Structure formats: C-alpha cells, structure tokens
Structure 1
C-alpha cells in the first residue's frame, strides 16, 4: 500500500464497505496497472457475506444504488477515477483507474538487466555521485582508464553485471589504479601535509659534483698518458 492510499483509506469520511471494496477487490484487479472494468454483479459478489445460519443466504449484501454510493465515496476521496460512465445514474460498465496505485507503478525504477561488458558501455549519469559515496573523490577519468577497464572485462564474457554493478567495478578499478600510482610516488613533507615530490628537471647538485670529479680524473689520466709518450 502506498502512503497516499493509506491516508485516503483512513479518512473518517470513508465508510468501511468502501474501504473493503477498494482494498480487497478493485486494488487486486488493478495491480497490473491496467484500467478496471466496473461490473456491478461482480462488485456485489465481492462484498456479499454468506450467512452461516442460512445455507445459500447472505448476512450482508449491497444493491446497485448502494454500489453507486460506495463508488462515489471512493471517487470523492481520490482513490478511483471513473472514465466516461455510460449512464449518469450508475457506473456499471464504466472503466476506472486507481490514481494512487498507478502513480506508484510509474514511479518504480525499472529493474536493470545483467549483461556482459559491451564495447559501447559508458558509466551512467549517477557515476560521479556513486564514486563519492565509495570514497573516490576525484571521479574524473580519461579514455585510457576506461579503455583498460573495458578491455579487461571484454575478455571475460562469462561475467554478467548490471550497469550499476559495472560502475562499482570501474570505481574499484580507478581506486586501485590511483592508489598504486600514489604509493610509487615519493612523498615529501610540507608543513602539516604530505605531498608527492616533484622530480627536478635536471641532475641533482650531488650528481653534478660526481660528474665534475669524473671529468677531472679522466683529464688527469689523459695528461699522464701524453707525458709518457
């Protein structure tokens, strides 16, 4: 039962037979979301209560005019909407819909079907929000990262997943890839933060000193060789 149905059915202006007619009969007929054909004989049988003291008798029954009043109650409460009644005095033969129920059907998400990875797959609109929920604050990705992920799973066609599950797998792959890159990058301290060290564009001072010493030694050895000749 939807919240709107619950509120309307608990209205003190709605009679108990009207509630019973809606919940135990009309709602059951409309569970597929299709319109309901109002048949007075069928509605009357749905509400009738057999009398155990009289075989074949009934302790409670409604006639056509009573059914019309019950349907009026449901329509005024917004629980049913009758489309083009054939007669002004009754609803027999008319078609009705249950707005509260059809709205609930229309608002339900369509279940996703599991499928293997496909060459045309792309993360959906919910990817960035989902990534943040999973702890991946930087959710932007490039074609190389996406292509590597897709290539891995395209080679495993026996694996099926929904789009939501594929996005979770991609987020996990991005986190692993970025963690590996970060762990391989030296970290240096800057105040209270640890940041990745940026490599210098040229040799370090120590390397330059070693190069100079090697050149002087090579020049000295070359000079001694010339003197001997």
Structure 2
C-alpha cells in the first residue's frame, strides 16, 4: 500500500470502510491497471460480519463504497455508486495505479478549498486518462461550481493530489448526467456543432420534403 492510500485512509472514514478497502478490495487489485476483482457481495458481507452481523444487504456495501469514493480511494467506471447492485462489477482504485513519486509534493499540501484553487494540469490529464474521462475540457463554470460546493465545507482538508482527483471525478460524473450529450461508450460527451444527422433522419427529411412538393 502506498503513501497516498495511507493518507486517504486516515481521513474521516468509518472503520468498516477501511476494512472493506484494505481486506476486501486492495489485496487482489491489479497493480498496473488499478482494477479490482469483480465484486462478490456475499464474500464482502462475510468479511465485514466476522463476529456479529452488522451488514446484510448489498446496498450496505454500496454505502461503504460511497465513503471510499468520497475519499478518492475508489472510482466506479461503469456506473455511479448508489443503491443499484454492483455485484460482479470491477472498481478502479485510482491511487494504486498512479505513480506517487512524481507528485510527492501534492501529497504533502493539505488545504481546504479556496477561491483561487486550480487543479494540477499534468495530474489532471493523467487522472482523466486513468479513469476514462473522454471529454476532459472544462469551463470556468465547471470549475466555479466545484469550488463553490466545497467552499461550503471548510472543515474538509485534502491534499493537492486529492482535490485534483475529486475534480476529475466530478467532471466524469457530470458527463454522465442527462442533457445535451452524445453517448460514446459508457459516457456522454457534449454535443458540438457540426454533428451530422444519421441515415434514418435523412430519409425522413427526404420523404416528407417529397410529399410537400407533391
């Protein structure tokens, strides 16, 4: 386990979430890609309920995964971590796959959110590629929305690395939101001017144009 993981595990997490990460997810992770083995809810519940039954539903596991995601320890590539079952899905452990040495200073810079915060450009690009963020261009509004949200939580102190990571995951989540988007793989990217209509749409236009002329 690397230094960035240890730092993240010392944030405001429940002990059950730490156990889930350290014993349920981390031991069999692919250290190159950062991908876990497919989740096995039954196995994870048995791990968490070693002496007494504290959890008995898959959504209880999801609640712990949400804690880990908020701390930057887990990212679900396929779908949002919610009440929906993730049994059999793989998760990404971003801090496993990212080299620590080149970002050592970012791991040592603890801070609350500020009005002039900006993501580290190089780290932003690498994390975007790592988590599969297809459209990693962001606007002043994207950045302002992120900063405004975290300014309301001054008690949250994260490293420069973790803030950049949170911003990347925030953008990825927003790309999955409904709106004027185009689906590419499992993600939605903003529709840009110049997109051509598909063949069916063209045929419909031609059909009704011909009728109006007749």
**Normalising to structure 2: TM-score of the pair?**
0.40
**Normalising to structure 1: TM-score of the pair?**
0.38
